[in-house]
Copies of this chain bind each other. A is one copy, B any other.
Amino acid sequence: MRALLLVAHGSRREESNQEVRELAERLRAGSGGRFAWVGHAFLELAQPSIPEAVAAAAASGAREVLVLPYFLSAGRHVVKDIPEEVATALREHPEMRIEVAPYLGAMAGVSDLLLDTAVSHSPAAG
């Protein structure tokens, strides 16, 4: 059973955290049952943490978690913090398998998404 975990930085601005929760909700709604569990986690300033979310996924019966880093660049959070939090989660749940997908900014489709938005958002129509 696979789980999907959207990981964002977390913000002092509650609306930004809420945007992440709503995006995870859209992932859940759009996943069409391909993931047994879909959730979110934050690195800082908001809960749950990655280990807390992995514990929730494990409690739901998932044995594999795919982490989707909701970050734009390969800074410290992507390169160091997420792997460290994943390692902590694995120490607490050694029965789990956790993989980390490319971060959003490195996903091959991000340029197509931007171009599609640009083409559909015609200034002449504004």
Given A97-B123, A113-B107, A123-B2, is A118 in contact with B64 using a C-beta cutoff of 8 Å?
A: no
Bound complex: CA A10 to CA B113 (Å): 21
| CB pair B66 A123 closer than 8 Å | yes
In the complex, the count of this chain's copies comes to: 2
How many angstroms between the C-alpha atoms of A12 and B102 in the bound complex? 22
A15 to B105, CA, bound (A): 13
**Is the Cβ of A31 less than 8 Å from the Cβ of B117?**
no
Partner of A30, one of B6, B74, B107, B111: B111
0/1 per residue, A107-126, Cβ < 8 Å to B?
10111111111110101101
A99 in contact (CB, < 8 A): yes
User: B117 and A16: CB pair below 8 A?
Assistant: no
Contact between chains at A111 and B26 (CB < 8 Å): yes
Question: Is A68 part of the binding interface, using a Cβ–Cβ cutoff of 8 Å?
Answer: yes
Given contacts A6-B114, A19-B74, A104-B113, 9 further A-B contacts (CB under 8 A): A8-B72, A16-B75, A19-B106, A30-B111, A30-B115, A66-B123, A102-B121, A109-B117, A110-B113
